[in-house]
Amino acid sequence: MRKIVLLLIIQLAGFDLFSQNVGIGTPTPSEKLDVNGNINLTGTIKANGTDGQPNQVLMKNSSGTLAWGDMSDYKNFATFLSTGSWLVPAGVTKIAVELWGPGGGGASVGGGGGGSYIVGVFTVTPGNTINISVGPGGAGATNSVSSGGDGTFSRVIIGGVEIDAYGGKGAVYNSAGSYYSSGDGGSYYASPGFTAFIGIYGQNGTVSKKNYAQAGTATFYEIGEMGNGGDAANTVNSGGKGIFYIATPGGFPAFTDIRFSGNNASKVPGGGGGSYLVNSFAGANGMAIIRF
């Protein structure tokens, strides 16, 4: 009789355990397992029978159930500082491509323009090869009466869809003296009908400035603030800095004493070249990043 009663108690306890909520640290559990306190787990956590992959997190899916998922679509990247190619890895069907155009070259009249920026999202096929073009920056002027060179472009074409990040323009010196200007920032391009992109223009370079001062009867100074290169789009402080100088002439305007400051080169990606009295700075090369 005692054995029968004991078995009945065990059966009732088992029925209650599997049909009611279980609380740990709480006398009134509201879920099948309700824990009030810290949990220390050792081993694997499965969501609906599925184990997660490295760097995944638990989240609610579109069906409202718990599932392992990625915080970002793109966990890896490949950087290109020059023209090259990339093989789409196994399992990768979507990528984002970022392009920066190269910077324009500086001249005595001002800084070169910064390169543009564009990012596009593409559907790809594993095993395919993607060719990336990364353009060089424009050359700096080699004397005080010439212009800086234009930056070229960075480009990718995937499945017939093209996106381009154009380079900044070089600073322009006109030998006739009718005009001069710093370089304009680069523009961008995407194939007609393609909308999965964002583009930003590069920053314009700044124009060089000169002022004159007299410190005595025959003592003159030329004070120059040479133009800065424009920043590449989406990249601060990439433009080169023009020099600042004070010159004292011996028999004006034949300067004999020049004091310089500044004079920082442009930076990758796409910074415009800074201005200098004679040999100005080149624009920085473009860049590309594939995120997958």
More confident residue, 142 or 215: 142
Establish if 46 belongs to a structural domain. no
- Give the tokens for residue 160: 């017939």
Same domain, residue pair 247 and 103: yes
Same domain, residue pair 27 and 95: no
More confident residue, 34 or 183: 183
pLDDT at 12: 40
pTM over 0.85: no
Structurally, the chain folds into a number of domains equal to 2
Establish if 71 belongs to a structural domain. no
Same domain, residue pair 134 and 256: yes
| Mean pLDDT for the stretch of residues 53-82 | 79
Establish if 4 belongs to a structural domain. yes
C-alpha to C-alpha distance for 105 and 110, rounded to whole angstroms: 9
Establish if 54 belongs to a structural domain. no
pLDDT in tens, 27-60: 888 877 877 878 877 877 887 777 877 767 777 7
Same domain, residue pair 28 and 93: no
Establish if 62 belongs to a structural domain. no
Same domain, residue pair 88 and 195: yes
Establish if 42 belongs to a structural domain. no
Which domain, by its residues, includes 16?
A: 1-35
Establish if 43 belongs to a structural domain. no
- Whether the upstream peptide bond of residue 253 has omega within 30° of 0, thus cis, is yes
DSSP assignments along 90-114, one per residue: TT--EEEEEEEPPPPPPBTTBPPPP
